[in-house]
Amino acid sequence: MSTEEFESSKPPRDVSIEKSKLGLYKELQENDDSPFYDAEANKIFLFAMAYGTKKTGRTPLTGERHALFNVSTYNEDIHWIIKSIAAREKRATDVLVDGKEVFKIAMEYANGGIDELHGKVFAPGDALIELSDELIEIAEEMDD
């Protein structure tokens, strides 16, 4: 691999979101009624990404972007979760060496997922129970 190819395959320094969706993350973090109250943005992003894989699919980022957090806040285990989603999406393991593509996929899943997640949390009813039930359902599907 040439230096140029290596540089182009490195993951981005920051995870970015659409600037217009920053308010959704903030409300999930700052509203006392949110199960994500006081959670770090990187954890909400991870949940939004996972939620997006099941609920919305990939939604390309459009418009102005906002750097939400530095990629280095994730440990190796989280990086492998993100890589596994990319490999599943591409149905190939060669994507694992392309950090930019891996995080592009993650950001696109989170882009749609954050809308659904925010809607679920602030819809009438008990968001925590409903989210828990959905997580159990997803885990059961994975066991099958």
pTM of the predicted model as reported, rounded to 2 decimal places: 0.85
- In single-letter form, the type of residue at position 62 comes to T
Q: Kindly state the average pLDDT of the residues 98-102.
A: 94
Please report the pLDDT score of residue 4 as a whole number. 43
The residue with tokens 């600037």 is: 19
Q: How is the chain split into domains, by residue range?
A: 3-143
pLDDT for res 64: 96
SS3 70: strand
Over the stretch 102-127, which tens digit does the pLDDT of each residue have? Answer: 999 999 999 999 999 999 888 877 76
Rounded distance, CA 1 to CA 72, Å?
A: 23
